[in-house]
Structure 1
Amino acid sequence: MHHSSLQDLQDLRVAVTGGTSGLGLALVRELHAAGAHVAFVARTPGRVADVARSLPGTHGLVGDITRKDDIYPLALQITAALDGLDVLVNNASHLGPVPLALLADTDCEDLEAALAANLLGPFRLTKALLGSLRASARDGRPATVVNITSDAAATPYPGWGAYGASKAALAHLSRIWHEELREHGVRMLALDPGDMDTPFHALALPDSDPAALKRPVDAAREILHHLIDKEPA
């Protein structure tokens, strides 16, 4: 069994959404350190500029994956910046109501916002980049989409209705798309990074002890190892 090292990521062309905070930022940093070509997307221009400056050679793109009109321009910017695309990481997420709420107390708008970020955004962006991913697969490159999911997608945690339902939909979308894209050589992975010490987690559970949580850098490395390890044919 070939033991994968993150050096295997060298020269891989990777796009990460939600790339200026938490897991997304950890992924961008690890990919950059491993010599991958990285484009990342986030909504706040100042944060995008700061991260791009701190990691020379990365491409920071400002956009909101929940906005339909942002998707096509972002897809074009990603493939132009990287000269194609091997891996898309759909990491940007929306929690639903903050503070967390029971479904009976959840506004329709909060459910819509969770679905827009956690399901429709990844669907639209993946679809817009599929041609590039299929071209990458034809060139024998590891064309992969990684959708970041959560145990809240499978376990019915009270208060996590909007988030859990949207992530459950994303996980199943991933499984179906994986079957459909198999013949084209494109993999679709739904990966759960676990509970991490991130701003996102602090927003959801302000009273939790950060020391008891996984560091985003460790979750990022686990995800990247999944990326390199070839699944048995």
Structure 2
Amino acid sequence: MLANIDFHGLRVAVTGGTSGLGLALVRQLVAQGARVAFVARTAANVELIADETGAHGIVGDLGKKHDIYPIALQVTASLGGLDVLINNASSLGPVPLALLADTECEDLEKALAVNLVGAFRLTKALFGALATSAREGRGALVINISSDAAVNAYPGWGAYGASKAALAHLTAIWDEEAKDDGIRFLAIDPGDMDTPLHALALPDADPATLKHPDLAAAEIIEKLLDALPAGAALSAGARG
């Protein structure tokens, strides 16, 4: 866990920021001094979390092509640039979960549109801002939230798992390609969490067996801290 971290001046964008892991990340990053913009689809929820945290809320759907550039423009305008992008928004595809032979093509497309193509489009739209941050010595980082379903063949999780597997490999390739631009890319599996998305997928799961989103968020923030250059637009205190 983190203690006495000061992220003052760090500019972070989080997608899927009104519930589950995304909300935990928004709350913890704001509490540690970061300037945060978050994205979600439901205007009422965005307003509620913006009021609660002081973060800048943006209404948008990562699965819709025409929402991407307005989201990117609002991120950079509200934060004055961007140092860290966390692509957290996710779609299960078919609900309830279905075997691949029973999955509609449109449900597979929905999972890919949000989990893969949406993350790709937003990263591409914000790539220039991230490269500028790297040139300024602030550091630049993209964290893509993956899943163990990206590497393990769980029956019923085909659409979600395939989209997350593609996202993980996209992340690895982009991390190689963006080295000259000074941008790091990480794919992080936060583990099985007690979130609305998990409850939607497995409504009978025992929440006591699942990781709390606050713990997963703290672990991701530790990895974020390790990935940024020392002293890059922030000062870090002790870790507990």
TM-score class normalised by the smaller sequence: over 0.9
Quote the residue 1:106 is aligned against: 103
**Larger relative contact order, structure 1 or 2 (CA cutoff 8 Å, min sep 6):** 2
Q: Within 5 Å, which residues of 2 pair with 1:184-199?
A: 184-199=181-196
Q: Could you tell me which runs of 5 or more consecutive residues in structure 2 were left unpaired when the two chains were aligned.
A: 230-240
Out of 16, 24, 27, the residue aligned to residue 26 of structure 1 is 24
Separation of aligned partners in 2, 1:231 and 1:134: 14
Out of 71, 77, 92, the residue aligned to residue 74 of structure 1 is 71
Out of 147, 155, 167, the residue aligned to residue 158 of structure 1 is 155
In terms of mean alpha carbon deviation, does 164-173 or 6-15 score higher? 6-15
Query: Is this contact kept in 1: 2:184–2:227, CA < 8 A?
Result: no
Per-residue CA deviations over 1:144-198 (Å, capped at 9, x if unaligned) read 0000000000000010000000000000000000000011110000000000000
Separation of aligned partners in 2, 1:85 and 1:129: 8
Per-residue CA deviations over 1:87-114 (Å, capped at 9, x if unaligned) read 0000000001111100000000000000
Separation of aligned partners in 1, 2:3 and 2:222: 7
3-state DSSP of counterpart to 2:12 = strand
Query: Is this contact kept in 1: 2:93–2:110, CA < 8 A?
Result: yes
3-state DSSP of counterpart to 1:9 = coil
Query: Is this contact kept in 1: 2:141–2:228, CA < 8 A?
Result: no
Residues 14/6 of structure 1: CA separation in 2 closer, same or farther (3 Å cut): farther
Cα shift at 1:230: 3.6
Residues 199/4 of structure 1: CA separation in 2 closer, same or farther (3 Å cut): closer
3-state DSSP of counterpart to 2:5 = helix
Query: Is this contact kept in 2: 1:119–1:167, CA < 8 A?
Result: yes
3-state DSSP of counterpart to 1:38 = strand
1:138 pairs with 2:102: no
Residues 129/155 of structure 1: CA separation in 2 closer, same or farther (3 Å cut): same
Q: Which runs of 4+ in 1 moved over 6 A?
A: none
3-state DSSP of counterpart to 2:17 = coil
Quote the residue 2:200 is aligned against: 203
In the superposition, the TM-score normalised over structure 1's length comes to 0.96
Per-residue CA deviations over 1:73-130 (Å, capped at 9, x if unaligned) read 1100000000000000000000011111000000000000000000000000000000
Separation of aligned partners in 1, 2:4 and 2:123: 24
Quote the residue 2:234 is aligned against: none
Quote the residue 1:174 is aligned against: 171
1:13 pairs with 2:7: no
1:35 pairs with 2:29: no
1:213 pairs with 2:206: no
Query: Is this contact kept in 2: 1:9–1:228, CA < 8 A?
Result: no
Query: Is this contact kept in 2: 1:8–1:228, CA < 8 A?
Result: no
Separation of aligned partners in 2, 1:142 and 1:227: 11
Query: Is this contact kept in 2: 1:5–1:225, CA < 8 A?
Result: no
Q: Could you tell me which runs of 5 or more consecutive residues in structure 1 were left unpaired when the two chains were aligned.
A: none
Cα shift at 1:142: 2.1
Separation of aligned partners in 1, 2:57 and 2:207: 28
